[in-house]
Amino acid sequence: ASVQTCEPSPHSKSSNEKGEYANLKWDELGFGLIPTDYMYVMNCSKEENSFSKGTLVQFGNMEMNPSSGILNYGQGLLEGLKAYRREDERIMLFRPELNALRMKIGAERMCMPPPTVDQFVDAIKQTVYANKRWVPPPGKGSMYIRPLLLGSGPGLGVGPASEYTFITYASPVGNYHKGTLNLVVEEKLYRATPGGTGGIKAIINYASIYKAITEAKAKGFSDVLFLDAKTGKNLEEASTSNIFVVKGNVISTPATDGTILPGITRKSVIEVAHVLGYQIEERSVPVEELFDADEVFLTGTAVVINPVNSVTYQGKRIEYKKGADTVGHNIYEMLTGIQTGRVEDKMGWTLEL
Ligand code: COI
C-alpha cells in the first residue's frame, strides 16, 4: 500500500491546543465515519517480518495493488478502542495494550506479522493526539480508534501476502445502536465455526453476517443473536457484541472457547462484576435461558453496555428489565465511570495520552 504523505508532525499547527474543537454538532453523534485529520501508517515486508517505524499522514484514500492479500483473500484484522475526554480536558485511552495483544493472537492465526505492543500503543497515542480536536467534549461521546492490519503486498496464489500494512484512523462517535434493542435469535446462519476465525477480529467475520442483520432489520429487529454452529443450542454473541444474561444475582456469559470474540469490554464487565460482588459464570449458555432471565445486556467497545429490551426466539418474544435498578446499569455506571473519569480508576485501566 502506498499513501499520500504530508507534514507528519503530531505537534503541527493542526493538532490543537487545549480546548480547541473541530466544528461539529457534538450532540448529534452516532456511529458513522466522520473523517479526521490524520491516520498512522506503518509497513512491513515479509522478509523483515517486523514493522519499521510508522508515520502520520493525512487521512484519506490509499493506493493498493488489486492483487493484494486483503482485497483478494481477506487477509486482515481490525481492532476497535476508544479515547475519552475528561472534565479536566485530559484524554484517556482504555486498556489499549489488550487490543495490541488481541491483534497479536489474531495475526498468528492469519499468518501475519503483528506490530509489537509498544508500536501498537504508540500508534494509537499518535493518532489520537494528532486528531485531538475531534475527541468529543466530556459527556458527548468518544473517539473511536480503528487499527487495521492488512496483507497489502501483491500476489496471485493463495498464501500469506508479501507485505503488510498497519493503519490506525479515528472518528468521533456517539451511540452505536439507536433506540431500544429488540433482538431476534438467528437460527439458520452462523457467525463462527469451531476451528474457524470467530475468536479473533478477522475482517472476514463481518461481511459474512450482513445477510442475517439485513434480514432481521427488515423485520423490525435491531440486531441478531447467533447460536453455536455445532449444536444450534447455545448462545454465542450478537453481530458486534458479547451477550450477558442475568438471573437474580448471577450473571452468565458464553465462555470464549474459540468461536466467541474475547471482547475487552466483556473482560472488563466480568472484572467489574466481581468487584461489585455479583456471581459471574463463563460457560455454555443454552438459548432456553433467555426465557427466564431477568435482564440481558450486550457489551462491546462500540456498543459499551447496552440493555436488551426484548429477544424473539422461535416466534416468542421475551421482555427484560432495564433502567436504573438493574445489574447491567450498576456495571455500566462503574465501567463508564472509570473510562470517563467519574470513578477513580483503581484498576489501572486508563492510560493518559
Ligand atoms: C467494536 O466494538 O469495537 C467492534 O469492533 C464492533 C464493530 C463496530 C465492528
CA angle (78 as vertex; 180, 300 as ends), nearest 5 = 30
Active centre residues (catalytic) = 201
240 lines ligand 1 (CB under 6 A): yes
The atom number, within ligand 1, closest to the CA of 31 reads 8
Amino acid at 334: M
Instruction: Kindly tell me if the per-residue pLDDT of 3 is higher than 50.
Output: no
The atom number, within ligand 1, closest to the CA of 146 reads 3
Cα–ligand 1 centroid distance for 21 (angstroms): 25
All 3 cell numbers of residue 135?
A: 475527541
| Torsion from C-alpha of 166, 351, 37, 80, nearest 10 degrees | 50
Ligand 1, pocket-test mutation among 175, 206, 240, most atoms within 8 A of CB: 240
Predicted pLDDT of residue 11: 39
Grade residue 5 by pLDDT with cuts at 50, 70 and 90: very low
Report which protein residue has its CA nearest ligand 1's atom 3.
80
301 lines ligand 1 (CB under 6 A): yes
Grade residue 14 by pLDDT with cuts at 50, 70 and 90: very low
pLDDT tens per residue across span 193-249: 999 999 999 999 999 999 999 999 999 999 999 999 999 999 999 999 999 999 999
Report which protein residue has its CA nearest ligand 1's atom 7.
240
302 lines ligand 1 (CB under 6 A): yes
The atom number, within ligand 1, closest to the CA of 144 reads 3
Give yes or no for a contact between 187 and 224, defined as CB atoms under 8 angstroms apart.
Answer: no
For 94-114, what is the mean pLDDT? 98
pLDDT tens per residue across span 115-171: 999 999 999 999 999 999 999 999 999 999 999 999 999 999 999 999 999 999 999
Number of Cβ within a 10 Å radius of residue 309: 17
Q: Terminal CA-to-CA distance of the chain, rounded, Å?
A: 28
**CA 166 to chain CA mean position, Å:** 17
